[in-house]
Structure 1
Amino acid sequence: AELREWDDPQAREMLGNLKPLEDAAVERLRTWLPKLSHPVRVGEHDQTAFALGLILDYARGKNDEGLTKLATDSARKFFLVDANCPLAYEPSGEDFLSPCLGEADVMRRVLPQAEFGKWLTQFLPQIPSTATADWLPIVVSPDPSDPKLAHLDGLNLSRAWMLQGILSVLPADDPRRAALASAAEAHRRAGLAAVTGKHYEGGHWLGSFAVYLTTKRGIEK
């Protein structure tokens, strides 16, 4: 998606070089996704909600109507009737994605604004109507040099962009906006502070999460 947006000869060359890989990945998604009977609801690499959000952004950027419909239909099939997501059970000890927020972040991409607002009420009723971040505390990695425990530093970053994404589609008078904004800012600050490069275990990937957050990828301009 980024290469298509970059008006540069080098970008066009790289896009051409990557086309066989791109085509193969899309073909495999078209074959595999309809066979997925249940979403993967974890806080790591194979979370279905996070993947569907990335697929949707890619497909829309490429104007691939078939892949857009497949991803949209899959998100609705998996998540439309979900309710009362147990946010208090998060995080698991090795999460770098939030299962609850990841689901909300993909559903805001597929539902109209009014429908998403109602869906969010049933899915995350614990979002308060006051300007507080306490409803979703930041997380602290107990050992940033551990390859799994360092995941928690990434969780702050991904929570921040997911909260921003949810916020981006709610109307200006939605009473939950202040709480979402407060939590997003708290997680943004904590997440960016952990991007130090001091330890390879987090340093080799946290920067990519920081860039995704600060560039607001996935949020319509």
Structure 2
Amino acid sequence: MLRNQNGISVYTVLSIILFIALVFILAVPNFFNLDKEKNLEDCINNMKQIWVATTDYMRDTNADFNGDLSLLIKTPKKDDPKNTYLSSNLYCPETSHQKKEYLVYGKYVAEQIGTEIKHNYGIIILCPNLAQYPKHIIEKGFYENMEPTQLQNYMSEDIDYIDSETGLNGAKKVELINKYIEIWKTDPDAFAKRKANTTALRAILFPEKFGITE
């Protein structure tokens, strides 16, 4: 058996090297956060938690939500003052060390139906890394299981449409969703337009697809 001057066999050295390499291979994904599927799942779960917290907050305030997540963390729940709407800050695991917050926009619309007022809440949440990771988006099916208001249905359907049209083009996806949010922020008739015509807001984002020319 081959041995070096210290009496250690070549096979022993190779075994040690292989063992170290194996440990390194197993450790790298955790150390550098390379498990993309788990990161995707964790990110979407984070956004779902934020959506639930924001929805609860808006139901208690009946007002738009400006995206300040610290409000959800420090504000006690109306029906459970011992707890806040959100227990702690949540970050996308892809860049959790950078502490980049999720973008959250909440729209409140009071709809007069006869003598009654129907409260509508619609919330859009964007992963801060959506441009680089275009799959980091809440699927439409999630909202369908959460007893959404009509406004939330409109938003989730339109976001799903944007998602399908942009595919893996994350930068375009972010651009159009931000433009979509801006419509809700600036157009007081956005709800009425969307209620009257399913494609009303989509046509603003995709004018050529809907045959609109300037």
Place the TM-score, normalised by the shorter chain, in its bin.
Answer: under 0.3
Q: Which has the higher strand share?
A: 2
| Structure with the higher fraction of residues in helix conformation | 1
Higher relative contact order (CA 8 A, sep 6+): 1
